Chains A and B, each alone.
Chain A
Amino acid sequence: MHKSWWKIAAVILLVYTIVGGFLMDVPRLFILNESIRNLYFHVSMWFTMMILFAVSLVYSIKYLRSQNHKHDIYASAYAGTGTFMGLLGYATGAIWASYTWVTDQGQSLSTILKEPKLLGAGIAILIYCAYFVLRGSFNDIDKRARVTAVYNVFAFAMLFPTIWIIPRLVGSLHPGAPGSESGNPALNFNDIDSRLRMVFYPAVLGWTLLGVWITTLKIRTKLLAEKSLL
């Protein structure tokens, strides 16, 4: 175990997320009712994904500047954990939506899931899946590292239109779209109740640290396996 203080911090923050997330007071809202607590879990997954993808982008650019093979390993590991967090965010969102978006006006889950925000998020995750397909299609390590580093920059750039801009332009049931009150496609920071904020920010930090922890394990395994190459 090296540099373990932030791992301990991750554990403490996640324990606080679960204890505070279930037991602390939340705003009483219609439709959402008690499910507002999903904010600490569903939304944190997307935050973690964004942060991990950003770190992946930084290492891809570092690779392109230095041609250091280590940076390629870092970039692919961070992108992998980020994609995983994105899938978790999508799955949790689907469950949440099926209980809050489906009303008694003859809708079904399949009509609800044709949402610009959900389609955009799906496309964004698929673009990152293609990153791994692309990685697997090269035999030459240097070529793989260079091409996928460039592709990673493109994939990160595509996140912005797909999950931030398009849902903001068209109507969506997702909080933040023009149909709802706030103007931010994920959530409006001025809108969140201070009671929610008390748990939400530590939750984001805790889940992100856990994501980073898992990623460092993947990186260390890869570095061990490819020791002869480095």
Chain B
Amino acid sequence: MKKLFPALFLLLANLVLVVATAAAQDKPEMADVMRSNGKIYVVVVVCLLILFGLIGYVFRIDRKLSKLEKQSKD
């Protein structure tokens, strides 16, 4: 009988632990830390800069082509 209580207690504690970890796994892991400390904005700025660089490049080619088209028309 003396040994039964600690055994029961251990079992109970184990059950609680299993339930707790299951509850923790219920929520998929997301990059919440990155969002809360604002580092995500660094990513956004870098991607935007790359996008603007590419768009600017396409824009310049467009302008040059328009000039060439005008020249060949004359």
Which A residues have a C-beta under 8 Å from some C-beta of B? 1-2, 7, 11, 14-15, 18-19, 22-23, 28-34, 210, 213-214, 217, 220-221, 224, 227
Bound complex: CA A12 to CA B69 (Å) = 27
Which single member of B27, B55, B62, B68 contacts A14 (CB below 8 Å)? B55
Q: CB of B6 within 8 A of chain A?
A: no
Which single member of B28, B30, B44, B72 contacts A18 (CB below 8 Å)? B44
Which single member of B28, B55, B66, B68 contacts A29 (CB below 8 Å)? B28
B62 CB contacts on chain A under 8 angstroms: 1, 7, 213, 217
B16 CB contacts on chain A under 8 angstroms: none
The A interface, classified by DSSP as helix, strand, loop or mixed, is helix
Interface size on B, residues (CB 8 A): 22
Bound complex: CA A14 to CA B50 (Å) = 12
Q: Is there an interface contact between A19 and B44, defined as CB atoms closer than 8 Å?
A: yes
Task: Given A221-B65, A224-B69, answer yes or no on A11-B47 (Cβ-Cβ < 8 Å).
Answer: no
Please report which residues of chain B, range 1-52, place their CB below 8 angstroms from some CB of chain A when the two chains form the complex.
27-31, 40, 43-44, 47-48, 51
Shortest Cβ distance from A111 into chain B, in angstroms?
A: 25
A30 CB contacts on chain B under 8 angstroms: 28
A23 CB contacts on chain B under 8 angstroms: 40, 44
B61 CB contacts on chain A under 8 angstroms: 217
Bound complex: CA A2 to CA B29 (Å) = 48
A221 CB contacts on chain B under 8 angstroms: 65
Q: Is there an interface contact between A15 and B72, defined as CB atoms closer than 8 Å?
A: no
